[in-house]
Amino acid sequence: MTGQTVTRFLGLDPGLRRTGWGVVDSAGSRLAHVANGVIGSDGDKSIAERLVELHSSVLEIIERYRPDAAAVEETFVNKNPESTLKLGLARGAILLAPALQGLPVSEYAPNRVKKSVVGAGHADKDQVQLMVGKLLPGVAFANADAADALAVAICHAHFAQTHRSIGMTPPPKSRRASAGGGMQRAIAAALAKEAGQ
């Protein structure tokens, strides 16, 4: 990707027990794997302590890899209301981390992620992993959650590229752009949103 403007995307697949994360670089239509992994929370701790673990871990990933934008997979209601509530709490803690750093955060339904990566909205996990491997040659997944997170990042890279090419939304801040703090990014995002209304 030498000589091209590179945008870095963080994908997150939220869960209270395990949250997958993946980072990819995008330059035009080219993608490159940066890193992936899984964040775990200690089931013996209180919900509040587990949420702190998730939030702090996502902040550490953002600090280490400096993404330009983040994307999170949406989740739907489970049959078990208690599980749904816990997953909602985990999603809140995870969504808050990039937002507090001034990163634009997008959300994608699982079917949209699968359709973007595999071409079919009802693809199974094996198909998703296979296509992620083809799109990011040589990648080794920490586990299925990390592969799903990479798929979310790839999905967001595809949509961001499409939006830039047709001028729908301002592109995420690129790696070549001048360095700025999270507050500057938050202000810029708020102004861009207001201008679009």
What single DSSP character describes residue 16? S
Q: Give me the percent of the chain exceeding a pLDDT of 90.
A: 57
Kindly state whether residue 56 falls inside one of the protein's structural domains.
Answer: yes
Does residue 5 have a pLDDT over 70?
A: yes
Give the pLDDT confidence of 118-176 residue by residue, as tens digits: 887 778 888 889 999 999 998 998 889 999 999 999 999 988 765 454 454 544 544 43
Kindly state whether residue 70 falls inside one of the protein's structural domains.
Answer: yes
Q: Could you give the residue numbers annotated as active site?
A: 13, 73, 145
Give the pLDDT confidence of 50-96 residue by residue, as tens digits: 999 999 999 999 999 999 999 999 877 667 888 888 889 999 999 99
Coil/strand/helix, residue 38: strand
Measured distance CA(180)–CA(164) in Å, rounded: 21
Element at 11 (helix H, strand E): strand 7-13
Number of independent structural domains in the chain: 1
User: According to the model, what pLDDT value does residue 182 have?
Assistant: 47
Q: Residue 13: which domain range? A: 7-195
Kindly state whether residue 81 falls inside one of the protein's structural domains.
Answer: yes
Kindly state whether residue 2 falls inside one of the protein's structural domains.
Answer: no
Reading the block at residue 157, the tokens are 């890279």
Contacts of 137 (CB under 8 A, 6+ apart): none
Kindly state whether residue 93 falls inside one of the protein's structural domains.
Answer: yes
| Phi, psi for residue 196 in degrees, rounded to 5 | -80, -10
Q: At what angle do helices 81-100 and 47-65 cross, to 10 degrees?
A: 40
Element at 115 (helix H, strand E): helix 110-117
Q: What is the CATH number of the domain that holds 25?
A: 3.30.420.10
- The dihedral formed by the CA atoms of 107, 112, 113 and 116, expressed in degrees to the nearest 10: -130
Measured distance CA(139)–CA(147) in Å, rounded: 9
**pLDDT band at 22, cuts 50/70/90?**
very high
Kindly state whether residue 96 falls inside one of the protein's structural domains.
Answer: yes
The amino acid present at 26, given as its one-letter code, is S
Kindly state whether residue 1 falls inside one of the protein's structural domains.
Answer: no
Does residue 190 have a pLDDT over 60?
A: no
Kindly state whether residue 59 falls inside one of the protein's structural domains.
Answer: yes
